[in-house]
Structure 1
Amino acid sequence: MAAHVHITPVHRVTVTGTTAWHQVVAASMAHDLPGVPPPGPGQIHAQLTKPALGSRRLTWMATDEDGTAVGVAGLRLFTQPGQEHLAELELHVAPGHRRRGTGSRLLSAVVAACRTENRRSLVVAAGADGPGEAFAERWHFKPVLTLDHLIMELDRLDQDAIRREADAEHPGYRLTGWTGTVPDDLAAALASAKNAMNDMPMGDVDYGHVEWDADRVREMARVVAGRGDTLLTLAALHDDGTMAGYTEIVLPHGTSPQAQQYDTAVVPAHRGHGLGLWLKAAMVRRLRAEHPGVAAVETDNAEDNVHMLAVNRELGFRAYRRTREFQLDLAVN
């Protein structure tokens, strides 16, 4: 039956194509991840037209004999030094068109492109114990990382506890914050703090090494703004002028009530002082004051990142699903 499906590279994004892509993704996620809101059409358009930081994107669409989109695949090719070996896959097939070879043909196109681009590692995320995991295992992807996804519903938090944590004294440290691009006088300090993320537990993912500098942190903010999202940052500054830690929240374009937690990091030399919980509690207070339409925040942590999991649970996050990351070693496949 897959012989009647056409796999076509997408070279130009149109309104019709974006709508078709969104319909496939929404149907796929409703089936595989019930309760998880899919990206809206505007987010899909930004994803297809605005490359993520340090990468470029290739895309394919599978259509049936009537020209209806039944599957999509997106390939992120990392271009940052230290990650040129890496590619990341997103693949969706409409539930009513599965088990007909459509996903396999999309994957074949992706793997061929990876080989052309001299990539040795292809990673993909899938809901734990779901159809995506079974598909990945069937094609000899190896599980390399398990992520716990947590959600924090702001109206259900203990507001007195949040206030106490946000107002707690941390001698030698002070909080500062901004929206969008980091102020020039903090750009180098933020880059240094971001490099502290390189010791974050990543399982067996062949992720490579990312080196942050002032230009890269500015570019990251431009990428977020370019797709219409809003980046909020709070940072803890030490009296010696260094940035001891920071936390980031992204508000999706439009009126989505759910925000996304990006990085939270505390520099190794400043750990053990409760800065992570302080930063996160202060961010909750900022969200409630500046963005009252935000009802929830989602985050994810590697299951072996026990410290950050403990911080998030103490703050009020609760686990609600799991995903696993799988990796295909293209050097031996």
Structure 2
Amino acid sequence: MTFTIEELAIPARLDGSPAAHAFEEATEARNAAEVAGFGTPDAAYPAGELLPGWQPSAHEQRRMLGARLGGRIVARAGYQSPTEGDAANTGWVQLHVHPTATGRGIGRALADAAERIVAEEGREQVHTYVASPPGAGPRLEPPTGFGSVPADNREVRFLLARGYTLAQVNRVSRLPLPVDPAVLAERRAAAESRARGYRIHHWEAVAPERWLPDLAMLATRMSTDAPSGGLDEEENVWTVERWLEAEAEARESPRTTLYAAVEHVESGHLAGYTELSVPPALDRPADQGDTIVMREHRGHRLGMLLKIANIEHLVERFPGHPAIVTFNAEENRHMLDVNEAVGFLPVAYEGAWQKKL
């Protein structure tokens, strides 16, 4: 049976239309591939939670390709790239083939098509993040020297054959909930003793207007201050308008985003923030989003303070979720120390890969 590659029209809503049906099938393929790669059902998301992030954006180019086999979408390739700034030289590609459809050349055909889009739009490099399940035999290390992936894994051999290089390894960690309140109280008290002159703020979904310029600056700093390993990362500029667009998209999802931010009281500006994305179903984990503390404010245990403050916020607002899941670069020892002290345990790994066009 032969397959065909097509660009998928992103529906405005899941209304039973052909476009909505194709998006749901593409999401099913994505989920099956991610669950197989990470080895956990935590990696699966309902189509309605993913759809807002694929709507037209004034700040990002977003396109999706699908592979149709026997009338059904069995694989997808997503493409995203900023529309302006230095980071616009990079295209981010996500490739997922349903495990039942592998071995037919679908992955190669989708990767070819996605890389053509990246090149045609003038991008100079491709970045992709790919789960690597456990495997025997030799290991492949990134240039950081932190972490590794099984060199004989199918996804590793596929990427190497296409000219990608392993630039970084990310650890996936899971924090079982609830955490012992005494542990959180002890860790928070220790952090607060080092964080004099700083104040914690909380909000849900919509940021107070006074913080918008600071949040845009901090989101920009995520691309320059966070460890990037061997990835050639350019500054990915966020403006207030881009932040507001992202907030509006998040509000279209059934998920809820909880924020904790820390203010440097003397200057009246934010020094960092962290976010948790919470699904409506109580049997699913919350996702840890960005956590950033500006370099000039590090050394005050603000990362620990932010993390614990938002965990407490989650337990207060939405009790009953089984866990929190987070991704961290293996070389980001500071954040791994914070997570391990709270109780996060490693459950899976992914490689960050780069290809120059």
TM-score scaled to structure 1, two decimals? 0.90
**Is residue 12 of structure 2 the alignment partner of residue 7 of structure 1?**
no
Residue 316 (structure 1) aligns with: 343
Residue 147 (structure 1) aligns with: 170
Residue 234 (structure 1) aligns with: 260
The alpha-carbon deviation at position 51 of structure 1 amounts to: 4.8
CA distance in 2, matches of 1:70, 1:83: 31
CA distance in 2, matches of 1:253, 1:45: 16
Find the partner of 2:48 among 42, 45, 56.
42
Is the CA contact 1:10–1:61 (under 8 Å) kept in the aligned structure 2? yes
- Alignment of structure 1 residues 103-118 onto 2, 5 Å: 103-118=107-122
The alpha-carbon deviation at position 94 of structure 1 amounts to: 2.1
Change (3 A) 1:311 1:106: same
Is the CA contact 1:127–1:133 (under 8 Å) kept in the aligned structure 2? no
CA distance in 1, matches of 2:327, 2:112: 30
Change (3 A) 1:253 1:111: farther
**Is residue 227 of structure 2 the alignment partner of residue 201 of structure 1?**
yes
Is the CA contact 1:176–1:237 (under 8 Å) kept in the aligned structure 2? yes
Residue 247 (structure 1) aligns with: 274
CA distance in 2, matches of 1:205, 1:163: 37
The alpha-carbon deviation at position 152 of structure 1 amounts to: 0.8
CA distance in 1, matches of 2:327, 2:58: 19
- Alignment of structure 1 residues 59-70 onto 2, 5 Å: 59-64=64-69, 66-70=70-74
**Is residue 242 of structure 2 the alignment partner of residue 216 of structure 1?**
yes
Residue 166 (structure 1) aligns with: 188
CA distance in 1, matches of 2:239, 2:21: 39
Q: Tell me which amino acid in the other structure corresponds to 2:32.
A: A
The alpha-carbon deviation at position 53 of structure 1 amounts to: 8.1
The alpha-carbon deviation at position 253 of structure 1 amounts to: 5.6
Find the partner of 2:214 among 184, 189, 207.
189
**Is residue 22 of structure 2 the alignment partner of residue 21 of structure 1?**
no
User: The residue matched to 2:25 in structure 1 has which SS?
Assistant: helix
Q: Tell me which amino acid in the other structure corresponds to 1:62.
A: A
Is the CA contact 1:163–1:285 (under 8 Å) kept in the aligned structure 2? no
The alpha-carbon deviation at position 202 of structure 1 amounts to: 0.3
Is the CA contact 2:277–2:289 (under 8 Å) kept in the aligned structure 1? yes
Q: Tell me which amino acid in the other structure corresponds to 1:5.
A: F
Find the partner of 1:76 among 53, 56, 80.
80
Change (3 A) 1:253 1:268: same
TM-score scaled to structure 2, two decimals? 0.84
CA distance in 2, matches of 1:191, 1:8: 35
Which ranges of structure 1 fall in alignment gaps of 5 or more residues?
none
- Over residues 157-203 of structure 1, what are the superposed CA-to-partner deviations in whole Å (9 max), with x where a residue is unaligned? 23202023335443212211111222111222333344443221101
**Which 10-residue stretch deviates more, 224-233 or 265-274?**
224-233
CA distance in 1, matches of 2:280, 2:126: 29
CA distance in 2, matches of 1:245, 1:160: 25
Residue 301 (structure 2) aligns with: 274
CA distance in 1, matches of 2:65, 2:220: 34
Change (3 A) 1:93 1:159: same
**Which 10-residue stretch deviates more, 50-59 or 306-315?**
50-59
Is the CA contact 2:204–2:259 (under 8 Å) kept in the aligned structure 1? yes
RMSD, aligned CA: 2.1
The alpha-carbon deviation at position 314 of structure 1 amounts to: 0.9
The alpha-carbon deviation at position 87 of structure 1 amounts to: 0.8
The alpha-carbon deviation at position 293 of structure 1 amounts to: 3.1
CA distance in 2, matches of 1:326, 1:202: 11
Change (3 A) 1:30 1:194: closer
Residue 16 (structure 2) aligns with: none
Is the CA contact 1:250–1:261 (under 8 Å) kept in the aligned structure 2? yes
Q: Tell me which amino acid in the other structure corresponds to 1:327.
A: Q
Count of aligned pairs between the two proteins: 325
Is the CA contact 1:42–1:253 (under 8 Å) kept in the aligned structure 2? no
Find the partner of 2:334 among 307, 310, 327.
307
Q: Tell me which amino acid in the other structure corresponds to 2:314.
A: L
**Is residue 285 of structure 2 the alignment partner of residue 287 of structure 1?**
no
